[in-house]
Amino acid sequence: MNIFITGGTGFIGSALTSQLLAQGHSVTVLTRQHISGQFPLTFCKNLSEIKNFNEFDAVINLSGEPIFDKAWTPKQKQILTNSRVDLTNHLVKLIDNSDNPPSVFISSSAIGFYGDVSNSHIADENSPCGNGFLSQLCQQWEGSALQMKNPKTRVCIIRTGLVLSQQGGMLKRILPLYKLGLGGKIGNGEQHWAWISLDDHLQAIQFLLKNPHSSGIFNLVAPKNVTQKQFNQDLATSLKRPAFCSVPKWLINIILRARSQLLLDNQLIYPKKLLDLGFEFRYSCLKNYLKQHLKK
């Protein structure tokens, strides 16, 4: 396949690009920086260089300003929105302008769509949108992708959870603290975290890429969510380190303000549509994943 990827230099995108190239696919990455690697790669510096996507079999949209790195000031909220919605709008326009369009458009979103999920209800792809900035951002982001008018292109929206890998994301950030024995609870630790291994995340994207019956919304999370308290315990046990520190909710709220919801919201979410289509997760159990992947 000839595949166009945005966000191909990020944590998830770079890993996906490497896998696709290793499988013999042709990949074009939207980026301003040159990447050297084992396999040949085509670069596009600006979407203005492209008039349509006639030559591509698939478009995968993983681009977006990092959500956690900076405070959500009004200016930063606009940057977060524009980096997702504007780019997605442009991609959709290029697909709609294609006489021979890609067969599939896979576009990112996040489980932040659901907001703070009640313990009395497990959210699946049919659950309603939550409240707050993050939910509204995801709703706008998805809306941009779903405005696709070209009937020849199926659209898959991937609502991504907490992606775990030593190569990037949150796990890479917190591992040094845990190795020093400084891990611990965040808030009361009872909030669920909807996680997924990077391996499964990449396989899920490729599953949707190849499955002609897949379209619509998909939760990219493992079937078994864990509480933050359990996450803390499993990670500490895997590293054979203590983890008795605790950061109270009020302190998290003071330090992170609105971003605190990324750590404190209850993410009780189920990947119903992926499972219904027959996707098999390699890692459903967090403890097993950590045991196999963390270097002692």
How far apart, in Å, do the first and last CA atoms of the chain sit?
Answer: 39
pLDDT of residue 295: 63
pLDDT band at 37 (very low <50, low <70, confident <90, very high): low
pLDDT of residue 54: 97
Quote the tokens at residue 78: 């606009």
Every domain of the chain and the residues it spans: 2-230+232-293
Q: Quick one: average pLDDT of 11-34?
A: 91
Which tens digits make up the pLDDT trace of 132-188? 999 999 999 999 999 999 999 999 999 999 999 999 999 999 999 999 999 999 999
pLDDT of residue 39: 62
pTM for this predicted structure: 0.95
Residue 205 C-alpha from the chain's centroid? 10
Which tens digits make up the pLDDT trace of 78-126? 999 999 999 999 999 999 999 999 999 999 999 999 999 998 889 999 9
pLDDT band at 191 (very low <50, low <70, confident <90, very high): very high
Of 36-50, 73-87, 184-198, 248-262, which range is least confident? Answer: 36-50
Report the amino acid identity of residue 90.
Answer: H
Evaluate whether 62 touches 13 at the Cβ level (below 8 Å).
Answer: yes
Q: What is the CATH number of domain 2-230+232-293?
A: 3.40.50.720
Residue 234 C-alpha from the chain's centroid? 22
Q: Mean pLDDT of all residues in the chain?
A: 95
Report the amino acid identity of residue 259.
Answer: R
pLDDT band at 266 (very low <50, low <70, confident <90, very high): very high
